[in-house]
Amino acid sequence: MGEVLRIETQQRRDAECIRDALSGHGADLDHDDLVVLIPDSGEGEMLTALLGALHACLEEHQIASVKVTVDQQTYVMQGAT
C-alpha cells in the first residue's frame, strides 16, 4: 500500500458522509472519527478522480471545507459556499 490520503473534517457527521461517499476507494474513519483515511493506489489518475468525488461530496452535502493531506503536504479544499 502506498501513502494514505487523509481528509480531516470539523464534524463527525461530515467524516461519516465523506467515508460513505468514497467507500469505493477504500475510505475508512481514523480512531478519532474526524479523519477519513484512503489508501493511495499510486495512480495519479485515481487521485484526480478521488479528489473530484470528494469535491462533489462537499458540494452535495453542504460541507464548507476539509483539510486534505497527500504526500505529506496539507491543502484546504473548499466545498459549499
Q: What is the pTM of this model?
A: 0.84
Distance CA 75, CA 7 (A): 10
Q: Which residue segments constitute the domains of the chain, with CATH numbers given? A: 4-78 (3.30.70)
Q: What is the pLDDT along the chain (81 residues), one digit of tens a residue?
A: 456 788 999 999 999 999 999 988 888 898 777 888 887 666 667 788 888 999 999 999 999 999 999 888 999 999 877
Cβ burial of 36 (10 Å; 0-12, 13-18, 19+) is buried
Identify the CA nearest to 61 among candidates 30, 12, 21: 21
pLDDT of residue 40: 67
Helix (H, G, I), strand (E, B) or coil at 63: coil
- The three three-digit cell numbers of residue 39, written as one number: 489508501
Pairing of strands 73-78, 65-70: antiparallel
